[in-house]
Amino acid sequence: MLFNSIDFAIFIPIIFILYWFVINKNLKLQNSLILISSYIFYSWWDWRFLSLIVFSSFVDYYVGISLSKTDGKRKRKILLLISIFVNLGFLGFFKYHNFFIDNFVEAFSWFGYSINRQGLNIVLPVGISFYTFQTLSYTIDVYKRKLKPTSDIISFFTFVSFFPQLVAGPIERATNLLPQFYKSRRFDYAKAVDGMRQILWGLFKKVVIADNCAIYANDIFANYQNYSGSTLLLGAFFFAIQIYGDFSGYSDIAIGTSRLFGFKLMRNFAFPYFSRDIAEFWRRWHISLSTWFRDYVYIPLGGSRGETWIKIRNIFVIFVLSGFWHGANWTFIAWGALNAICFLPLMLRKKNRDNTNTVAEGRIFPNFKEVYQIGITFFITLIAWVFFRAESVSQAFSYLSGIFSISLFTLPDFAGRSGAISTIILVIFFIIIEWVGREQQYAIEKSFIIRSRILRWGVAYLIVLTILVFGNFKENSFIYFQF
């Protein structure tokens, strides 16, 4: 079920009314309703894959219970390995099986051996990368004794399958989300209204910004051989805005929807395109994934401690893994490696923590140095996105060679150029709002604290009107559904 669909617009009010006005006095019934709703939400795409979530939930629930009953190191490690094997086994089979088969066959062809490829026609279950990491966080934290295992099976199953963030995150930690299912929840009008604002802003990002940018990004990337360098650069720009509007828009809707039901999810984006270096970008982009790799991979490997080669190894491990997490294609691995290369100089010079505050904090305009830093960081990120978007590594290099040609200094020329102008104006409008609201949790969070009720409603109606007039309502799926 898509957030930007009529189905979801009908689904949410029904669950909301039942949750707050029918069973509001019974916590177990509320959790059960959320669990059933989550399974319906996921089954809307393909009910057959619901069994994967249920099976993973059963495994990790009983592994957690078993870990609480033993202190033996060997047995505890075996239990942890069972959880890791089951979860990563499902992920590996559905997401990476054909990738490894194809590369195995190709590797042998280099030595003159011909092997008949026997790949499988595998459908990737939506959201498997997200809920796999989410449930793994529970088992690992219980194993490390950072979290007490739960005996409340309904709460645990609901934690794993919580529908607002089930398909594309944020990837919640058990230490944050699971305890929220134990506590009684009372309807908070202010939180619900704030949740609706964030949903509205997320919807604006998706249907007005991302889906309109997608029209031109898709065309330019599909026909890149026929376009000038300036057009290819504009196509990369459109994709950079598209993926941010699409993914952060999903996160906004997920977080806002959770607030409607009394839950608080972690922040997943913090205005990453206003970053002054790549390290800051990765502290602000897909925060739930980058912190997951930091806590469960990078730090256990030794983090930034030890000899220089160990630091370099650890950086490449987490960035390459992050890239591979996104998809079974060398383009994602190249994207991760490129980000690691850009990150390394900052870490080796101990400059990776220089920019931890908000840019131009307390000021309306940035200074020249900040503008330069933001521009350079965005350009590096934009170049990296070419690898992320391309079908192959060779296509990415061809696309980049097209950008860095003499035709870069010509005016962009492509089909629908006149229509793209209105999209660029909308993007500029969007960037201005994001800049003004960059010190908030989301851009329009404080737009509704204006004393004048007329102005408050005016802001809301302006956003709604913009969505209705400029929105793309073709029910386009979110980019991260494929991951």
Q: Nearest-5° angle of CA 46, CA 50, CA 56?
A: 150
Residue 37: CA count within 13 A, CB half-sphere: 25
- The DSSP code for 266 is P
Query: At which of 143, 166, 186 does a domain end?
Result: 186
- Predicted confidence at residue 48, as pLDDT, reads 83
CA distance 181 to 176: 10
Is-contact 232 399, C-beta < 8 A? yes
Give this prediction's pTM: 0.93
Q: Which single residue is written with the structure tokens 């990368």? A: 129
Q: Among residues 248, 250, 210, 218, which one has the least CA distance to residue 236?
A: 218
What's the CA gap between 331 and 395, in Å, rounded? 9
Same domain for 400 and 369: yes
Per the CB < 8 A criterion, the answer to whether 188 and 262 are in contact is: yes
DSSP letter assigned to residue 482: G
Q: Are residues 118 and 222 in the same domain?
A: no
Residue 446 pLDDT: 78
What is the pLDDT at residue 272? 97
Last residue of a domain, one of 128, 161, 186: 186
Same domain, 173 and 195: no
The H or E element containing residue 150 is none
291 domain-assigned: no
pLDDT at 217: 95
Task: Specify if 468 maps to a domain.
Answer: yes
Query: Count of alpha carbons within 13 Å of 155, Cβ hemisphere only?
Result: 16
Among 186, 214, 233, the domain-final residue is 186
Residues 60 and 127 in one domain: yes
What is the number of residues in the chain? 483
pLDDT at 104: 63
- Domain membership of residue 441 (yes or no) is yes
The residue among 401, 393, 424 whose CA lies nearest residue 229 is 401
Domain contains 322: no
Residue 144 and residue 243 in one domain = no
Q: Is residue 206 part of a domain?
A: yes
Residue 267 lies in a domain: yes
Provide block-wise average pLDDT over 10 residues at a time, the chain (483 residues).
86 95 92 96 86 93 93 92 93 81 66 62 81 94 93 95 90 94 92 93 95 94 93 96 95 96 96 97 96 94 87 94 92 96 93 92 94 97 96 95 93 83 94 93 78 75 90 82 72
Residues whose CB is less than 8 angstroms from the CB of residue 97 and which lie 6 or more positions away in sequence, other chains included:
119, 120, 122
Residues 11, 37: one domain? Answer: yes
Residues carrying an active site annotation: 326
And the tokens for 380? 């590096």
DSSP string of 165-221, one letter each residue: GTTT-----HHHHGGGGTS-----HHHHHHHHHHHHHHHIIIIIIIHHHHHHHHHHH
Domain residues for the domain of 171 are 6-186
What domain count does the chain have? 2
Same domain? 387 vs 472: yes
Question: What is residue 107's predicted lDDT score, i.e. its pLDDT?
Answer: 63
Same domain for 203 and 74: no
Whether residue 115 is found in the same domain as residue 96: yes
Answer yes or no: do 63 and 205 share one domain.
Answer: no
Residue 294 lies in a domain: no
pLDDT at 108: 58
Q: Let me know if residue 458 belongs to a domain.
A: yes
Same domain, 374 and 454: yes
213/132 same-domain check: no
